Amino acid sequence: MNPLERYEPLVDDVDAFRAACDRPLPSVVRTNRIKASPTRVREAFDEAGVAHESVDWHEGLFRLPDGNPGGNWPYVHGWIHGQEEVSVLPGLALDPRPGERVWDACAAPGSKTTQIADAMGDSGTLVANDNNLGRLSALRHNAERLGVTNAVVTNRDARNFSVKPLAFDAFDRALVDAPCSCEGTCRKNPDVVDEWTLDHVHAVAGIQKGVLARAVQATRPGGVVVYSTCTFAPEENEAVLDHVLANEDCELVAFDLPLDTVPGVTEWEGESYDESVTRAQRVYPHHNDTGGFFCAKLRVGGAEEGAGGSDAAARDAAGVAR
């Protein structure tokens, strides 16, 4: 069975959804502000004869009609990084601040990690973790090319990650961009549809629950955890949130994204989820001409999100956070 068929009850326009999933995905790059501004990148593209189109909802994103984002000198010099439009959303939801302590639990190959470092002004402490040692080489390469200096790279199973070896007790923010069944990437990788199995969905959902639970535990009261996937499967999205809400001290909070989204679903194939999962946001390919995505924002411990933020900035100013 084509797995996209099982999600047709969730979408508003089945024909448009299926047609969008069959179209190739536009090639997009993100400006790396550690090294260049969007204006300078635009000038560099003009100088190098690289065709480009600005993405209207984000001044730092450019679509490259000719593809090949790595085939130009701004890329080689670390001014840009190839990153799908919807892949930018978790970093925007996380909203990391300079001087903070941030954990990227499933970081490789580093697109979101380097976006977070950019947003932090390359200050504070960013712990970029992945359990796949082979993928960490890509993460390190991307971080070095983009000039990231505030990142610490670790190779751990995120479900058992310990903060003890670090010089602090908890993170201010954490991102769990979880490994998933990846159906939302079918526009750039059609093989995911042919290789999809429901057994894999159920297996990876167990891992996702463990990683998200650990992220909540490792984040200070009042801190923020963002959970994201590139799958349409409620088993990997709303069901994971429902599990963690029932077992950890956290709550889902409403947040804004600059694309057209729909709320999370509360029922799926006989299962019911916590009503607050409607605060999560689903992105379908036919709404924005992007890949498919899911994003949710949680607050830990019930305190205000801003608690401790000024302390984090002060630590960085004193040179402690690095």
Give Cα 269 to chain centroid, integer Å: 27
Selection from 198, 197, 265 nearest residue 237 by Cα: 265
- Catalytically active residues are 230
H or E element, residue 262: strand 262-263
- Say if residues 224 and 103 touch (Cβ distance below 8 Å): no
- Say if residues 210 and 105 touch (Cβ distance below 8 Å): no
Backbone angles phi, psi at 61, to 5 degrees: -110, 140
| Euclidean distance between CA atoms 122 and 99, whole angstroms | 9
Q: Give, in order, the Cα–Cα distances in Å from 125 to each of 4, 49, 81, 101, 219.
A: 40, 37, 21, 5, 14
Selection from 200, 284, 208, 198 nearest residue 239 by Cα: 208
| Euclidean distance between CA atoms 60 and 223, whole angstroms | 27
Tokens representing 299?
Answer: 């607050």
Block residue for tokens 């970081």: 107
Three-state SS at 272: strand
- Say if residues 297 and 226 touch (Cβ distance below 8 Å): yes
Tokens representing 176?
Answer: 């769990």
- Say if residues 295 and 90 touch (Cβ distance below 8 Å): yes
Helices (H), the chain: 14-22, 38-48, 73-76, 89-94, 111-119, 133-145, 191-195, 198-217, 238-247, 285-288, 309-317
